[in-house]
């Protein structure tokens, strides 16, 4: 009996200890993030109008960029007194996301913003909302059918590769060897980025792409594949890395191997990458944007759609059916302009 | 006396295990030959060997823990998720404010804690190992995402000397500290498995838990310890991962469970438990890392790489089975 008591006591004590440790170490608070002050705040459209209930369904935020999408949507909605944002728990499962969209339709939101985990799979769910009279703003990953959305807004993966390739071509003066650290090869966006990159390099006959590896958008695999590439190519002049998150690992591998003497261009536009570009402290000299501010823009578009307004600076009465973002190349010269919109 | 019987059985199994290891050594040699022929300038170099060992070290440490669990008749599906949680927890701003000691302690404590919970559920809660660790896989990954809010947390400047361990200046006689940790863990693991009562009991409860219980082994407590051991290995691996990548993220350790289990299995350990070798598991890890290195060196596409990986798993297991069959049928 005493033995049992002692054990219970021990277990209790260790549980308490664990709880104390948990509360001490889980905190990540570092003050509230500054609200991004995006683009031109258009005067007439900024005036509060009819109240709009916006539903938002996105994938699980298990990656820096996706997390920034959610943050951008939330922060933007808070800036408008006439927007009420209903946000669902993100999911990567097509069935779960479809049911979440159903629930948003039942809640009778005025406009629906959807970043599908998989555009093709979510097409019927978007159609359902449109049929129920709810305009859908399709964010980034595009639905299969134009009947499933009112407006699409998103990035351009092909152009991202194109801009990266053209930038490197200019930096190298059209001569040299490059390598490519891609993302997940089974995703269409990776194929498009690579296609754009290759097409841009065709403009420079003196540049040869000698190596490529897929690093799966993950810090650790970024480190591993980069370490292997550095081993495989003792000398190259430039590289493009599709994603700044995996770039953290890739830059570690480069530092660990003590390699310099080439130019690295990143992708997506994370805060860590932009800070390195700004300080000019590593091989990373530029990054090609795939801006998560598109979520903030989507909230703005949703608000305008709900209030039946057009876009201020266009002559059109209606919101356009498709908005493709440009993939700016961020270098030391213009990094200050983009740093406030970078993501962690 | 029962320990003696078990020991004799283990030695018989050990002989076959050694032959299985020979099969793996052959695969490794074959890969080295392919590397030497296709990329003679880059493959057979000391720094490439160091690279392969470094990239093997993290999954290698996890595989050591996994080998114990599988020989003991269990399985641990949670290793990848625990590594994710452990790296995230150890790199939060609050943990990092305690310095490097805080990071290391936190990573190890989270690993051991997760192992303790899985072990209690399985040993005392009578959950099937597959289910118990599957539950841990889901919740640890979820907690990691929640803690990090999906962000990649980098090591702060104050704690930079931890990350410095991954750089060339920290190499000891040309060997990276990560590889040294891996070797130390593997050697301790080998000693624990083959030269101690703990190891003998692991083989015994994996082979026949009922017989082990009748022989006076506290099967439940031992099972609990096996999961704690696996958790500890995950904690060590997490510290190594933080050193290697200077960051913690909830995406870390993706599919580590499958990599570790595959290495254990091609290493000749029975998935049903009771038989296996640590040397085989380590060789299994080396085979996988060498394949990956070989493919990147030759600039082959991911698709080809995956197809070949699958083929090599099948071939390695077939070679081992043939070696084992020749040994048992004179």
Distance between CA atoms of A211 and B295, rounded to whole angstroms?
11
Residues A221-275: pLDDT tens digits?
A: 999 999 999 999 999 999 999 999 899 999 999 999 999 999 999 999 999 999 9
Distance between CA atoms of A173 and A175, rounded to whole angstroms?
6
Residue with more model confidence, B154 or B120? B120
pLDDT of residue B56: 94
B255: contact with A, CB 8 A cutoff? no
User: Does position B16 have pLDDT exceeding 60, yes or no?
Assistant: no
User: Does position B11 have pLDDT exceeding 60, yes or no?
Assistant: no
A210: contact with B, CB 8 A cutoff? yes
- Domains annotated for chain A, with CATH where assigned, are 48-155+293-309 (3.40.50.2300), 157-289 (3.40.50.2300)
Distance between CA atoms of B235 and B241, rounded to whole angstroms?
10
Taking CB atoms and an 8 Å limit, are A64 and B244 in contact across chains? no
Average pLDDT in the B305-314 region? 81
Distance between CA atoms of A82 and A309, rounded to whole angstroms?
14
A21 contacts in chain B (CB < 8 Å):
106, 109
Taking CB atoms and an 8 Å limit, are B251 and A217 in contact across chains? yes
**CB A203, CB A166: distance < 8 Å:** yes
pLDDT of residue A20: 47
Residues B268-280: pLDDT tens digits?
A: 888 888 889 999 9
Neighbouring residues of A144: CB distance < 8 A, sequence distance ≥ 6 = A119, A120, A123
In this complex, the residue of B145, B147, B151 whose CB is nearest that of residue A26 is B147
Taking CB atoms and an 8 Å limit, are B148 and A21 in contact across chains? no
User: Does position A68 have pLDDT exceeding 80, yes or no?
Assistant: yes
**CB B100, CB B216: distance < 8 Å:** no
Minimum distance, in Å, between the CA of residue A324 and any CA atom of chain B: 26
DSSP string covering A161-202: HHHHHHHHHHHTTT-EEEEEEE--TTSHHHHHHHHHHHHHHT
Taking CB atoms and an 8 Å limit, are B113 and A272 in contact across chains? no
pLDDT of residue A32: 41
Mean pLDDT of chain A: 86
Average pLDDT in the B79-106 region? 95
Taking CB atoms and an 8 Å limit, are B145 and A220 in contact across chains? no
User: Does position B43 have pLDDT exceeding 50, yes or no?
Assistant: yes
B254: contact with A, CB 8 A cutoff? yes
- Domains annotated for chain B, with CATH where assigned, are 2-328 (1.10.3470)
Q: Which of B40, B249, B289 is the mutation pick for testing A, counting most A CBs within 10 A? A: B249
Q: Which two tokens stand for residue B324?
A: 């084992």
Taking CB atoms and an 8 Å limit, are B168 and A24 in contact across chains? no
Taking CB atoms and an 8 Å limit, are A29 and B93 in contact across chains? yes
Minimum distance, in Å, between the CA of residue B5 and any CA atom of chain A: 33
Residues B177-198: pLDDT tens digits?
A: 999 999 999 999 999 999 999 9
**CB A193, CB A39: distance < 8 Å:** no
pLDDT of residue A315: 86
Residue A288 main-chain phi, psi, to 5 deg: -100, 125
B303: contact with A, CB 8 A cutoff? yes
Residues B248-298: pLDDT tens digits?
A: 988 888 889 999 999 998 888 888 888 899 999 999 999 989 988 888 888
Residues A93-104: pLDDT tens digits?
A: 888 888 899 999
Neighbouring CB atoms inside 10 A of A205's CB total: 9
Chain A: residue whose CA lies nearest to B41: A232
In this complex, the residue of B150, B163, B301 whose CB is nearest that of residue A63 is B150
User: Does position A74 have pLDDT exceeding 60, yes or no?
Assistant: yes
Q: pLDDT band for position B224 (50/70/90)?
A: very high
Q: Which two tokens stand for residue A191?
A: 């194929």
Average pLDDT in the B213-233 region? 96
Chain B: residue whose CA lies nearest to A62: B150
Taking CB atoms and an 8 Å limit, are A219 and B297 in contact across chains? no
Average pLDDT in the A64-76 region? 88
A30: contact with B, CB 8 A cutoff? yes
**CB B238, CB B83: distance < 8 Å:** yes
A211 contacts in chain B (CB < 8 Å):
296, 299
Residues 200-239 on B with a CB inside 8 Å of A are none
Q: pLDDT band for position A1 (50/70/90)?
A: very low
DSSP string covering B5-34: HHHHHHHHHHHHHHHHHHHHHHHHHHHHHH
Q: Which two tokens stand for residue B144?
A: 């990691």
pLDDT of residue B102: 95
Place of tokens 């390598």: A179
Q: pLDDT band for position A8 (50/70/90)?
A: low
Q: Which of A25, A251, A292 is the mutation pick for testing B, counting most B CBs within 10 A? A: A25
**CB B229, CB B65: distance < 8 Å:** yes
**CB B161, CB B100: distance < 8 Å:** yes
Taking CB atoms and an 8 Å limit, are A344 and B109 in contact across chains? no
Taking CB atoms and an 8 Å limit, are A62 and B153 in contact across chains? no
Neighbouring CB atoms inside 10 A of B246's CB total: 26
Neighbouring residues of B145: CB distance < 8 A, sequence distance ≥ 6 = A60, A61, A62, B250
Helix, strand or coil for residue A214?
strand
B151 contacts in chain A (CB < 8 Å):
64, 67, 344
B154: contact with A, CB 8 A cutoff? yes
């Amino acid at each position: 009996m005493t033995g049992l008591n002692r054990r219970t006591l021990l277990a209790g004590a260790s549980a308490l200890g664990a709880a104390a440790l948990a509360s001490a170490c889980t905190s990540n608070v570092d003050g509230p993030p500054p609200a991004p002050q995006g683009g031109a705040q258009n005067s007439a459209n900024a005036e509060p109008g009819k109240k709009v209930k916006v539903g938002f369904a996105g994938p699980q935020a298990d990656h820096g960029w996706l997390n920034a999408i959610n943050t951008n949507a939330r922060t933007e909605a808070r800036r408008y007194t006439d927007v009420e944002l209903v946000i669902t728990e993100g999911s990567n499962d097509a069935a779960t996301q479809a049911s979440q969209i159903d629930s948003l339709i039942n809640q009778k939101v005025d406009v629906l913003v959807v970043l599908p985990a998989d555009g093709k799979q979510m097409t019927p769910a978007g159609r359902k909302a449109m049929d129920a009279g709810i305009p859908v703003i399709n964010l980034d990953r595009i639905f299969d059918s134009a009947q499933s959305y009112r407006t699409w807004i998103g990035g351009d993966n092909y152009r991202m590769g194109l801009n990266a390739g053209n930038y490197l071509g200019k930096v190298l003066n059209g001569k040299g060897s490059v390598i490519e650290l891609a993302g997940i090869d089974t995703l269409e966006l990776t194929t498009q980025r690579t296609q754009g990159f290759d097409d841009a390099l065709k403009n420079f006959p003196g540049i040869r792409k000698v190596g490529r590896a897929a690093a799966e958008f993950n810090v650790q695999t970024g480190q591993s594949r980069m370490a292997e590439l550095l081993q495989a190519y003792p000398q190259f002049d430039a590289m493009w890395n599709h994603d700044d998150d995996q770039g953290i690992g890739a830059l570690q591998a480069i530092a660990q191997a003590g390699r310099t003497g080439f130019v690295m261009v990143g992708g997506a536009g994370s805060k860590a990458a932009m800070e390195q570009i700004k300080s000019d402290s590593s091989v990373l000299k530029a990054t090609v944007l795939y801006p998560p501010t598109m979520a903030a823009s989507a909230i703005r578009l949703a608000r305008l759609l709900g209030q039946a307004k057009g876009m201020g600076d266009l002559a059109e009465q209606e919101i356009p059916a498709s908005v493709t973002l440009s993939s700016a190349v961020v270098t030391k010269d213009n990094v200050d302009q983009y740093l406030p919109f970078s993501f962690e | 006396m029962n320990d003696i019987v078990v020991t004799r059985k283990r030695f018989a199994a050990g002989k076959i295990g050694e032959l299985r290891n020979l099969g793996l050594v052959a695969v490794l040699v074959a890969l080295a030959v392919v590397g030497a022929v296709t990329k003679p300038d880059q493959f057979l170099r000391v720094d490439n060997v160091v690279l392969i060992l470094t990239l093997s070290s993290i999954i290698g440490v996890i595989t050591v823990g996994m080998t114990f669990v599988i020989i003991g008749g269990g399985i641990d599906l949670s290793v990848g998720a625990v590594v994710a949680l452990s790296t995230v927890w150890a790199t939060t701003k609050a943990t990092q404010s305690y310095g490097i000691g805080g990071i290391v302690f936190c990573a190890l404590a989270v690993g051991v804690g997760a192992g303790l919970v899985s072990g209690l559920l399985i040993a005392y809660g009578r959950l099937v190992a597959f289910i118990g660790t599957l539950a841990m896989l889901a919740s640890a990954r979820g907690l990691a995402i929640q803690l990090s809010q999906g962000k990649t947390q980098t090591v702060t400047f104050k704690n930079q000397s931890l990350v410095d361990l991954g750089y060339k200046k920290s190499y000891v006689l040309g060997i990276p500290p990560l590889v040294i940790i891996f070797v130390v863990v593997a050697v301790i693991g080998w000693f624990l498995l083959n030269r101690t009562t703990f190891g003998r009991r692991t083989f015994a409860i994996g082979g026949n838990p009922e017989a082990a219980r009748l022989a006076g082994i506290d099967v439940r407590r031992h099972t609990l310890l096996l999961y704690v051991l696996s958790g500890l290995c995950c904690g060590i691996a997490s510290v190594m991962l933080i050193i290697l990548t200077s960051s913690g993220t909830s995406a870390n350790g993706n599919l580590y469970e499958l990599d570790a289990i595959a290495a254990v299995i091609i290493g000749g350990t029975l998935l049903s438990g009771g038989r296996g070798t640590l040397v085989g598991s380590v060789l299994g890890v080396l085979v996988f890392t060498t394949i990956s290195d070989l493919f990147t060196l030759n600039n082959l596409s991911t698709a080809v790489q995956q197809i070949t990986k699958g083929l090599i798993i099948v071939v390695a297991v077939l070679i081992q089975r043939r070696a084992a069959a020749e040994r048992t049928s004179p």
